[in-house]
Amino acid sequence: MKNIGFILLLALLWSCGNSPKNQGAEEKETVSFTVMSFNVLYSTSVESTIKTIAETGADITGLQEASDERIEETADSLGYYFHAFSKAAGNLSDNDTGILSRFPIGKEFENGVMVELPNGDEIAVFSVHLSAYPYEPYDIRDGKIETAADAETAAGNTRLPEINPVLEQIDSLMNAGVPVFLTGDYNEPSHLDWTEKAAENDMHFSMAVEWPVSKAVVDTGMEDAYREAYPDEVAKNGITWTTNLSENEVYDRIDIVYQAMPANWALNSVKRVGRPENDSAVKIPGYESDHYAVIASYSTNNE
């Protein structure tokens, strides 16, 4: 029944976009909006979550490690719409991920929701939290994994079964012409970071790895917002794990906003959010999460 409902949603979206009423209509006004991916950390305070979203001004936030109660309390405090996801392929538990939105939320499905922008445009927004262990960068550090092929196999066995059902829904939406934004803590680095160029610059244990989750997302046709804004993976590593400083830590970029949008929409900026002592563009006193948040700014209907 879920699949039938999803197919009907796609048919409705297609018919609305191609109806005679919409043909020849005036171009919609340009709207600017932001999408943030934010792993809040289970043990942090609700007050810190509210403060981060308020100070960044995020319009739409994909949350990870957030209970239903935290999501609802945060939404109530900010006057936002919200949806908390139940257990699904891209979520670790019943109380783990959700969406907060300044704008109305419409259709809801397993890992995503439809959001209506102020000009009437509808976008799909997803939030996922993939398995944390085994965490291959730690295994490489500790000598448990010695080759890129072994890292790719281990990561693929762990997380591809989780992300693939989500990508099937995203692919259907993209084929229907719906702009889609995927937020998440993927608990896996990006193949756009662990490149030959990075390895030659003694980054990432001098190992080039085709990390399977990021590759699967990009192969679907989505773009990595951070890498679109900062294509040089050596100059801008964009780490999101972790805000905590430790001598033996493996710092990496595992929180990503992906985008699939019309050609006349623009990505305006991508910023990391962290503590005053962190190397981030947005610094929030009292920021409690062990992950940097990532916030991307967009505008619609550009010439």
Write the pLDDT tens digit of every residue in 135-163: 999 999 999 999 999 999 999 999 999 99
74-105 residue pLDDT tens: 999 999 999 999 887 788 766 699 999 999 99
Q: How far is CA 125 from the centre of its chain?
A: 9
Determine the pLDDT at residue 24.
36
Helix (H) or strand (E) holding 227: helix 225-229
**Averaged pLDDT, 290-298:** 99
Return the half-sphere exposure (C-beta side, CA atoms, 13 A cut-off) of residue 278.
Answer: 29
pLDDT of residue 17: 46
CATH of domain 30-299: 3.60.10.10
**Digit-coded pLDDT (tens) for 40-61:** 999 999 999 999 999 999 999 9
**Helices H / strands E in the chain, number of each:** 8, 13
Tokens matching residue 254: 């595992």
Q: What is the rounded average pLDDT of the residues 105-131?
A: 97
Lowest mean pLDDT among 26-35, 191-200, 224-233: 26-35
Per-residue pLDDT averaged across 221-248, rounded? 98
Higher pLDDT, 143 or 301: 143
Question: Is 21's pLDDT higher than 50?
Answer: no
Do the beta carbons of residue 98 and residue 68 sit within 8 Å? yes
Single out the residue of 139, 150, 112 nearest to residue 6, CA to CA: 112
Q: Name the residue ranges covered by the structural domains of the chain.
A: 30-299
The two three-digit tokens of residue 247, written as one number: 């001598």
Distant-in-sequence, close-in-space partners of 261: CB < 8 Å, separation ≥ 6: 123, 179, 180, 181, 298
**H or E segment to which residue 255 belongs:** strand 255-260
- Judge whether residue 260 has pLDDT over 70: yes
pLDDT of 50: 98
Please give the Cα distance from 85 to 17 (Å, whole number): 28
